Structure 1
Amino acid sequence: MALNKPISAIVFDAYGTLFDVHSVVALCETLFPGQGQALSQSWREKQLQYTWLRSLMGRYEDFRELTRAALFWAAEARGLELAPASAARLLDAYLKLAPFAEVPAALAALAPVPRAILSNGTPAMLEPLAATTGLAQHLDAILTVEALGIYKPDPRVYHLAVEHFRCPADEILFVSSNGWDAAGAKSFGCTTVWVNRGGAPLEQLAVVPDAIIGDLSALAPLLPAR
């Protein structure tokens, strides 16, 4: 279904949408044979939980430290002894995540519409990652929650895109693979596309995305003629 409304900018979630957070599985498996997939999954789930919990508690910690805490929790929960050297290797791998295969071409196909990242990550995590993967050439900005000290889906996070691009919220097309994130952006007022890579059910949050796609290669055809 085409999006029959003006779009002034396209804003992407980073982790899980542009970058594959589970590209660390191979290293997890090398360090903990037979546990790689499960460790990666637990790590990601706890990382997200900590963003929500710290926001509710009013106890912000930046995404790098939160990711570290989630890793140690996930390892302990699975009965794994995480040596400092192994932890350092895994955290370093998170700074070198691979983009999903279709992402570079999908971003290029959206030009000349301005494109940006809006992420829970820190600039120190995201800017080198965008540069080394070549995605920076397709992005006009990298916006993060760091200055706000609170995480998605707080409405103030999505307002960062409105402030940056100086346009109404519904002219921001927000794209995320996280259903709860797409719901948060839609609740704020953005036009939203949910990239449902895993065939998950729709979040029951009384808001629905404007479109659902399987991966980012299907995004450009949704846009109005430009």
Structure 2
Amino acid sequence: MPQPLTPPAGAASATVCVFDAYGTLFDVAAAARNLAAQPGKESFARIWPRLSEIWRAKQLQYTWLRAAAGVHADFWTVTAQALDYAIEAVGPEAAPEREALLALYRRLDAYPEAPAALRALRAAGLRTAILSNGTPDMLADAVESAGMADLLDATLSVESVGVFKPAPAAYALVERHFGVPAGQVLFLSSNGWDAAGAAGYGFRAAWVNRAGDPVERLPWRPAAILRDLSGVPALAGVA
């Protein structure tokens, strides 16, 4: 069981728990996997794992490159462009599935342990939120589809600052919205680079390392590493 994060001497306990959305609360592989499971999709079923992997990798790469170059496009545009790259990479049999994949991406499956973790945090009096690269309408669709609307106090999109995480301006949205200092925020992400960026910003960051990957070689490291979201209440000291 994860140990609760102990605040630095003189610091208050975390009062807000903030989650990345894609890959943390919502399974980014679900769009391709669910399409492959539909009747008549046997050909797509043979290629979906590779397509999904390339799609996600390019989606993230495009956010980093756009942020570094100062050429922003919203996350829905980036997601579609990454899918186009992935379709070309895996072959023509994936091309007819483009629109279906994009539609399914709007209603990704939530990880099964996510609702219970959010309920436990809210029952203990902590405020909960999403901070995501996703656009407001993408996030609204995902939250509604997952039935999580009543489990979140806020859904924050980087579109309001026009730069993707891990830019400090993106993390600053949490302090601005909730009116709390960074040290009172527990931030959770399945992306090692995101957890590192949040730690560098000053959040109490935890990495949800679902894949068992190595820790990123960056200047900052998360204060805790979890296998999934089931350990979040204990980490927050409410279980």
Specify if TM > 0.5.
yes
- SS of corresponding position for 1:21: coil
Displacement of 1:225 after TM fit?
5.2
- Once the two structures are TM-superposed, the CA of residue 101 in structure 1 deviates from its matched residue by 0.7
How many residues align? The count is 225
1:205 is displaced (CA, Å) by 0.5
Q: Deviations over 1:46-96 (max 9, x none)?
A: 00000001111111111111100000001112233554x521111001001
Identity of aligned residues (%): 47
Matched residue, 2:104: 93
The aligned residue for residue 57 of structure 2 is 45
Structure 2 residue identity aligned to 1:90: L
So what's the TM-score if we normalise by structure 2? 0.90
In 2, are the aligned partners of 1:4 and 1:223 still within 8 Å (CA)? no
Two-structure CA RMSD over aligned residues (Å): 1.5
Please point out which of 22, 25, 29 is paired with 1:15.
22
Q: Which residue of 2 aligns with 1:217?
A: 230
Contact 2:161 2:170 in 1 (8 A): yes
Q: Where do residues 1-226 of structure 1 align in structure 2 (5 Å cutoff)?
A: 1-5=3-7, 6-27=13-34, 29=36, 30=41, 32-80=44-92, 82-83=94-95, 86-111=97-122, 112-224=125-237
Given that 2:188 and 2:207 are in contact with CA atoms closer than 8 Å, whether structure 1 keeps it comes out as: yes
The TM-score with structure 1 as length reference comes to 0.95
Deviation of 1:26 (Å): 2.4
CA distance in structure 2 between the partners assigned to 1:178 and 1:79 by the alignment: 28
Tell me by how many angstroms 1:16 deviates: 0.2
- Distance in 1 between the 2:193 and 2:179 partners? 25
Structure 1: give runs of 5+ residues left out of the alignment.
Answer: none
* Structure 2: runs of 5 or more not aligned: 8-12
After the TM superposition, which parts of structure 1 deviate over 6 Å for at least 4 consecutive aligned residues? none
1: CA distance, partners of 2:209 / 2:203: 18
SS in structure 2 of the partner of residue 153 of structure 1: coil
